[in-house]
């Protein structure tokens, strides 16, 4: 019995170390859209844990067509590279990666369907990834989903400032928080 428990603990330790072998699991909302809150958007390439080279660019999206704002650089050579771009308040801001090793393209937000495959970007509006910056973070999975590790840390754009969540995201958060606030208020009296 004791031997079985020791073996099980050893297997759990090995499995957990394999799950986090390449860094961390990026926490965020899958396919969330971001919108410009003013007249400029600034983006910085953050840390990554990927073997592939990903070219990272910023776009605006009008529901049908992407317009390139600028090319930030690659996750392999340009960590820390920053770009500031002129936008119109309310424009949807999209981050795109071109995985040069696989010749695939993935986009964040509602433009995801224009890429090779959807479901490759997570957006963190809440600072759930405190070790890599903020205020808004975008993490990508750069392999086809059928073989991906699902950690969304292969190309990370940090310090994406000048963007806000889509109104639906804000309403969803409020609808979750409102009942909790009402319970707290009710208990106070």
Longest dimension (CA), the chain: 66
Question: Residue 16: what pLDDT?
Answer: 38
163 — pLDDT class (breaks 50, 70, 90): confident
Please determine, looking at this structure, whether the domain spanning 22-183 carries the CATH number 3.30.530.20: no
Least confident range of 9-18, 59-68, 85-94: 9-18
Alpha-carbon distance of 87 to 68, in angstroms, equals 11
Higher-pLDDT residue of 164, 185: 164
Average pLDDT over residues 106-119: 89
Report domain extents, the chain: 22-183
- pTM greater than 0.85 (yes/no): no
Alpha-carbon distance of 69 to 87, in angstroms, equals 8
Question: Residue 184: what pLDDT?
Answer: 52
**3 state SS for the chain:** CHHHHHHHHHHHHHHHHHHCCCCCCCCCEECCCEEECCCEEEEEECCCCCCCCEEEEEEEECCCCEEEEEEEEECCCCCCCEEEEECCCCCEEEEEEEECCCCEEEECHHHHHHCCCCCCEEEECCCCCHHHCCCCEEEECCCCCCCCCCCCCCEEEEEEECEEECHHHHHHHHHHHHHHHHHHHHHHC
């Amino acid at each position: 019995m004791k031997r079985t428990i020791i073996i099980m603990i050893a297997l759990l330790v090995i499995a957990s170390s394999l799950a986090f072998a390449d860094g961390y699991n990026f926490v965020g909302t899958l396919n969330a859209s971001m919108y410009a809150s003013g007249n400029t958007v600034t983006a910085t390439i953050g840390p990554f844990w990927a073997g592939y080279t990903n070219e990272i660019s910023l776009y605006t999206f009008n529901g049908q067509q992407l317009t390139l704002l600028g090319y930030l650089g690659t996750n392999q050579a340009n960590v820390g590279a920053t770009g500031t771009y002129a936008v119109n308040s309310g424009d949807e801001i999209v981050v795109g990666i071109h995985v040069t090793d696989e010749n695939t393209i993935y986009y964040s937000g509602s433009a995801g369907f224009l890429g090779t495959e959807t479901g490759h970007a997570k957006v963190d509006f809440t600072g759930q990834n405190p070790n890599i910056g903020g205020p808004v973070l975008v993490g990508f999975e750069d392999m086809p989903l059928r073989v991906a590790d699902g950690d969304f840390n292969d190309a990370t754009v940090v310090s994406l400032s000048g963007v806000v969540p889509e109104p639906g995201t804000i309403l969803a958060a409020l609808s979750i928080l409102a009942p909790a606030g009402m319970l707290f208020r009710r208990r106070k009296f």
